[in-house]
Structure 1
Amino acid sequence: MFNRETYQQRRAALVRQTGKGLLVLPGNGDSPSNYTDNILPFRQDSSFLYFFGLDLPDLVGVIDLESGEATLYGDDPGLDAIVWTGPLPTLAAQADGVGVTHSAPLSQLPDRLRTARQTGRTLHLLPQYRPQNRIRLADWLGINLREVDVLTSPDVTRAVIQLRAVKSLEEIAEIENALAITKQMHLTAMRMAQPGVTEQSIAGAIEGLAWAHGRRQSYAPILSKRGEVLHNHHHDNTLVAGDLLLNDSGAESPLHYASDITRTIPVGGRFNDRQRAIYQTVLDSQLAAIAALKPGVPYLDIYELSARVLIEGLKPLGLFKGDTDEIIHSGAFALIFPHGLGHMLGLDVHDMEALNEDWVGYGEGYQRSHDFGRKSLRLARPVQAGWVVTVEPGIYFIPTLIDRWQAEDKFTHLINYARFADFRDFGGVRIEDDILITSDGARVLGDPIAKSIAEVEACVGH
């Protein structure tokens, strides 16, 4: 955990920004995998971690938004639990460690919540993403499941988003701690990317490396030579000379701050001419986007800049034609770039999106598009100093998408489908880094991870 003052300051900052009532923050419980006692690895709710810092199951935090008083609800471990888990701290000791002076058994929580409602006090919830917690809240409050969502508080949720979005120096240090392990994971994948090696062996090696450092991966890795499948979690291919291996993977820090890095690797150590041209275009796009980031610049503008560099790089290859502005504004560019440019990063790899993706990434003056490609842009509003965001442009040749658009005669005056036929077997390229918005610009977090053509080629097999 951070020191107890950190959590006290976070709770006090939330109280200053919100109104009356009680904020109820359920921590997560254990989740069974295939039967009750075979549980998945425990992961605490990130907002609970942010305000209470405790990484144990079945805890609930309540913050009085008028007095500022916080209470931790849970149960002291009994002998039966200790036999199976070993000694655990008492509830009072856990509370004291994060600067909470009041603690009580979980059995007392329903009475407090029902009494609060009966006396006219407002109960605030953040959006609930786990069915288990929604069921518990409904039971404690004596309401049906549908009524739980009614208690979601937009104002308090937005206040939490505002606080969590700006990272302190100690949070940035946690992200860079995660990136140190992530760098080793990516260099390991580069060294192993040789003909005859299976994707499974590389995926297993990088996961084992994370566990060897006492970490877990921050998300299920995307590691595949089928890089055109954007969220490809299958690792069942054997690498062949000439393949491109896309590795999108990251680790968590000891306090669960995430990293998120993508590199695209030439199997055997050399890009061919076609791969070199596409890769350099993606790299140019990413570098231009990072250079343009600074406080007050809408991320939507950075996304469009990134798309512009991609299109200008692909025109000499004969893939696109006509006016670049029209290619971007019409949506024709989404044929090769069908996702957003990035997202916030922090305690969640897609930070705070459980709190409402649009509240996190959009805001006054920014309306989410329903157009193909643009609808996947998770962040559009102006960035602020202290935010950490990912920048991850890509180029993908997706045969099913190409065939569909060509059959529908979409954008035929802007897209050269005959030339796209030459790239049907290409796959995809994506390059991603984690970026801190500074007071006057942006910087890439962590030690550099090879990404120029020369650097990546030098790493493969060495």
Structure 2
Amino acid sequence: MIDIQEFVARRACFIDQMDLNSIAIFCAADELTRSHDTEFPFCQNKNFLYLTGFNEPQALLVLTKDALGNGQSTLFCRDKDPLQEVWHGRRVGAELAKEKYAFDQTFTLEQADEQIVAMLKHKSSLYTVHNENDAFDSQIFDWLSAVKSGVKAGDKAPSQLIDCSGMLAEMRLIKSQAELAVMRKANEITANAHVRAMKNCQVGMFEYQIEAEVHHEFAFNGARHPAYGSIVAGGDNANILHYTDNSDVLKDNELLLIDAGGELDGYASDITRTFPINGKFTPAQKEIYQLVLDAQIASIEAIKPGVSFAQLNDIVHEVFTKGLVELGILQGDFDTLMEEKACKQYFIHGLGHWLGLDVHDVGDYDIDENRRQNRAFEPGMIMTIEPGLYIPLDAEVDDKYKGIGVRIEDNVVVTENGYENYSLGVPKTIADIEALMAS
């Protein structure tokens, strides 16, 4: 759990970056209807959560900065309502929210129109996250129109509308020690879930039964919801990158790829392991698996401040190209194959991504015209490293490799002198996996 003073500090940091005499307005998420009159479990807008820690729908955050540089935070939220709370759950209410979440002032949602129009008057700049919520974008322009309607009385609306998504992305990209502690715990829970899946996997089970084992471990330990749709893909299903049907029978002598992560206090984990359904790798599976593991280890060991995803990709491409040539899956001159990025025929996605409040978290990668991600790593960045090789049944390769899909994914944080791998709680060497599944 992140202390409320960290949210206060985040708001202050954002206000420091705002122009003098400006205002920023952010909206919470709405509840989403699943079917008729039932809703999906509520998931807060992650920018709103980052700045407030407030986890109710239909709220607004307003940050203002006056001409002297003084900042103020204001929350608008649903009022206490005993009847609604009996049916739908307790609300914090404006009065308690001020104290509990350390805002400078709070109002009910019913007061929002009047108060926000007053706050907008005579401000020079308005910061929002553009195109995030159509209804909210429309509401912003309604408030601006209300200010402009008073122009004859001397009222002025902000002349600059600034998309602040980039500002927030840069703040969110570098994690605090409190954030890293939550993400380390999320990885511990997720690692235990993957271990549970390995221990319970048997030929003849359904993919969804393994999914249930994983989700049980998440929820039982406080990660109430998966951070994304869990992938439990047996055999050739592993060659569908975002396979989420999870409905097939697990077969003997095939691999099972599980890409699943629990969400804890709003923060995602994202771990992938691939292992033999019957507990023993075949010789061909070993060859592909070890190649992916070698590439992953080589790239993780290179992580330190100043290194980039582009450099890590070069390492992985070299390992994959050399290994696929040795296995006879690629043919040709090594240098030519490297130049042509021939391994991308089988390594068909990126090496990794930022991780945080979103599983594919915000933050610039500094992508150049050649699509190379040149952003230099800094301490506090956390990312996934997830090389994979995918050889579908219709691939033109030796039959023993057909239908094999392997991905190995860890969550790695950049430290002052190198890295820390948060995902070590779940085995990934061939020997360790087979030993665990035999125990």
Check whether the contact 1:192–1:461 (CA below 8 A) recurs between aligned residues.
Answer: no
* 1:266 and 2:276 aligned: yes
Shift of residue 310, structure 1, vs aligned partner: 1.3
Q: Which amino acid aligns with 2:26?
A: L
Q: Distance in 1 between matches of 2:402 and 2:139?
A: 50
Match of 2:428 among 451, 456, 459: 451
| SS of aligned partner of 2:83 | helix
Q: Who is 1:357 aligned against? A: none
Check whether the contact 2:205–2:249 (CA below 8 A) recurs between aligned residues.
Answer: yes
| SS of aligned partner of 1:69 | strand
Q: Distance in 2 between matches of 1:90 and 1:98?
A: 11
Q: Who is 2:357 aligned against? A: 347
Shift of residue 309, structure 1, vs aligned partner: 0.9
Shift of residue 138, structure 1, vs aligned partner: 5.0
Match of 1:391 among 379, 385, 396: 385
Q: Who is 2:150 aligned against? A: none
Q: Who is 1:438 aligned against? A: 415
Distance 1:200 1:136, change over 3 A: farther
Match of 1:174 among 182, 201, 204: 182
Aligned runs of 1:245-394 on 2, under 5 Å? Answer: 245-253=256-264, 255-352=265-362, 360-363=363-366, 366-367=367-368, 369=370, 380-394=374-388
Structure 2: which 5+ residue stretches go unaligned?
A: 147-158
Distance 1:118 1:14, change over 3 A: closer
Q: Who is 2:33 aligned against? A: 32
Q: Who is 1:18 aligned against? A: 18
More deviation, 263-272/184-193 = 184-193
Shift of residue 109, structure 1, vs aligned partner: 2.8
* 1:208 and 2:216 aligned: yes
Shift of residue 328, structure 1, vs aligned partner: 3.4
| SS of aligned partner of 2:166 | helix
Shift of residue 349, structure 1, vs aligned partner: 0.9
Indicate the structure whose relative CO is greater, using CA pairs within 8 Å and at least 6 residues apart. 1
Q: Distance in 1 between matches of 2:390 and 2:165?
A: 36
> For 1:184-235, what per-residue CA distance to the aligned partner results, in whole angstroms no more than 9, with x for missing partners?
2101111122211110111122112222233211111011111110000011
| SS of aligned partner of 1:237 | coil
Q: Which amino acid aligns with 1:300?
A: A
Q: Distance in 1 between matches of 2:79 and 2:321?
A: 60
Q: Which amino acid aligns with 1:284?
A: D
Distance 1:368 1:190, change over 3 A: farther
Identity %: 30
Q: Who is 1:49 aligned against? A: 49
Q: Distance in 2 between matches of 1:262 and 1:151?
A: 45
More deviation, 306-315/334-343 = 306-315
Q: Which amino acid aligns with 1:230?
A: L
Q: Which amino acid aligns with 2:229?
A: A
RMSD over aligned CA atoms reads 2.3
Q: Distance in 2 between matches of 1:151 and 1:84?
A: 43
Distance 1:313 1:2, change over 3 A: same
| SS of aligned partner of 1:361 | coil
Distance 1:259 1:322, change over 3 A: same
Structure 1: which 5+ residue stretches go unaligned?
A: 144-149, 353-359, 403-416
More deviation, 244-253/183-192 = 183-192
Shift of residue 3, structure 1, vs aligned partner: 2.2
> For 1:283-305, what per-residue CA distance to the aligned partner results, in whole angstroms no more than 9, with x for missing partners?
00000001101111121111121
Q: Distance in 1 between matches of 2:33 and 2:233?
A: 29
Distance 1:446 1:336, change over 3 A: closer
Distance 1:152 1:243, change over 3 A: farther
Q: Distance in 1 between matches of 2:334 and 2:160?
A: 47
| SS of aligned partner of 1:262 | strand
Q: Distance in 2 between matches of 1:75 and 1:247?
A: 40
Q: Who is 2:63 aligned against? A: 63
Check whether the contact 1:396–1:428 (CA below 8 A) recurs between aligned residues.
Answer: yes
Distance 1:151 1:80, change over 3 A: farther
> For 1:13-56, what per-residue CA distance to the aligned partner results, in whole angstroms no more than 9, with x for missing partners?
22223324211111112111122x30010001111111101111
Q: Distance in 2 between matches of 1:277 and 1:323?
A: 21
Q: Which amino acid aligns with 1:279?
A: Y
Report how many aligned residue pairs link the two structures.
420
Distance 1:152 1:40, change over 3 A: farther
Q: Who is 2:195 aligned against? A: 187
More deviation, 99-108/297-306 = 99-108
Check whether the contact 2:321–2:342 (CA below 8 A) recurs between aligned residues.
Answer: no
Distance 1:106 1:432, change over 3 A: same
Distance 1:423 1:138, change over 3 A: farther
Q: Who is 1:242 aligned against? A: 253
Q: Distance in 1 between matches of 2:41 and 2:228?
A: 13
Distance 1:346 1:151, change over 3 A: farther
Distance 1:120 1:51, change over 3 A: closer
Q: Which amino acid aligns with 2:170?
A: Q
Distance 1:31 1:461, change over 3 A: farther
Q: Distance in 1 between matches of 2:339 and 2:111?
A: 57
Q: Who is 2:153 aligned against? A: none
Check whether the contact 1:193–1:265 (CA below 8 A) recurs between aligned residues.
Answer: no
Check whether the contact 1:194–1:461 (CA below 8 A) recurs between aligned residues.
Answer: no
